[in-house]
Amino acid sequence: MTNRFARSPFPYEVMFEKWDLLERLDIAVAWGHYEIRVLRFHLTSFEPGRIINFHNHSTYEFHFIPRGAGRVILGDQPFPLSEGLLYLTGPGVMHYQEADPQRAMDELCLHVDIVPRHNPAADPWEAAEAEECMQKLNALPLRPAQDVHEAMPCFLEAYQAGESKKIGYYTDIKRQVVGILLKTIQAYDAGDMSTEAPNRDMLAYRYEYAVRYMEANYTAGLRLEDVAEKLDLSSRQLQRIFRDVDPDRPFSRVLEDIRLRAVCDRLRTGSLSIERIAELEGFSTAAYLHTVFRKRMGISPSVYRRTKQSELRRDPAEISE
């Protein structure tokens, strides 16, 4: 006899089978005078009690909870998460994620970069709509909302389209991307193809994604493991990616370069103490910054500051090298 109270199967389970299927496609959507580039597009699972510490992105990350429970801190405000909720973390929004101690939490994630891209051939109505939507997107409140317009099924439809490769599947996936964006805004504001979609250069993509994440979070105690986790890779795999792109610039060197660029900017244009600059830019101590700086630049931070600020006084137009 069938148990009529049995739980229905999880509709998104199939997305675990090829978790990076959609991320292997180089998905770019022309939308009015904007271009939407897909960075991450997948279903993931947080085991009970798992924590993703505070971090931010320079891009837009859409989060949906199809199953389980947990909590999120947006800025400094905590919110409970449960099945059916969504939230957006836009550029620069610090956020913390945590699964319930007793229950796993699944998350559908769409991570995109949206950049202005003038298109003289754009439909004027679509361009106007895209502009209005971007204004609303950038003004969404920092709190979860119910997925009342059912954006979550768009993930499954995109996955199924990518799996089947039926005619029009690339267009269908792009349509689902725009659908997720629109349905998120609305939640807050009341035959086989003969050619393959363009495949992403996974080495270049993963390297670029890792570096961008490092540039957004370098001031924290960033570790190789932290960045690898964001790409669902092991530390060894990510280290190999850095080595393959440039054998002379492993993860530690790239992170050091990012921090040194920021230090140089502050030395050229500001008057903060070396101790304060070291603290702000992710160096453990001023002494360590001094050692690294002298080794890499050939002079001390203080000498660099005097030299560069003297040059600026002679020619104020030379703000940067």
pLDDT tens digit sequence for 251-292: 999 999 999 999 999 999 999 999 999 999 999 999 999 999
159-185: average pLDDT: 97
Fold of 13-188: Jelly Rolls (2.60.120)
Contact 192/167 with Cβ under 8 angstroms? yes
> Would you give the distance in Å from CA 92 to the centre of its chain?
10
**Mean pLDDT computed over every residue of the chain:** 93
Categorize the per-residue pLDDT at 316 as very low, low, confident or very high, splitting at 50, 70 and 90.
low
Fold of 202-314: Arc Repressor Mutant, subunit A (1.10.10)
The token pair at 8 is 């229905």
Region of 132 on the Ramachandran plot (φ > 0 left; ψ -120 to 50 alpha; else beta):
alpha
E strand intervals along the chain: 28-31, 34-46, 51-55, 60-74, 77-82, 85-89, 95-99, 105-116, 145-146
Contact 147/183 with Cβ under 8 angstroms? yes
Judge whether residue 107 has pLDDT over 90.
Answer: yes
Contact 119/20 with Cβ under 8 angstroms? no
Q: Where are the domains of the chain?
A: 13-188, 202-314
Per-residue pLDDT, 46: 97
CA distance 62 to 144: 11
Per-residue pLDDT, 192: 52
53-68: average pLDDT: 97
Contact 69/61 with Cβ under 8 angstroms? no
How many angstroms separate the Cα of 143 from the Cα of each of 7, 62, 245, 304?
Answer: 29, 12, 39, 45
pTM, to two decimals: 0.81
Per-residue pLDDT, 310: 87
Judge whether residue 96 has pLDDT over 90.
Answer: yes
Judge whether residue 50 has pLDDT over 80.
Answer: yes
Residue 57 CB-density burial (10 A; 0-12 exposed, 13-18 middle, 19+ buried)? buried
CATH topology match: 13-188 vs 202-314:
no
> Token pair 């700086």 is at which residue?
293
224-244: average pLDDT: 96
The one-letter code for the residue type at 178 is: V
Q: Residue 47: helix, strand or coil by DSSP?
A: coil
Beta bridge partners of 114: 36
E strand intervals along 160-251: none
Beta bridge partners of 82: 69
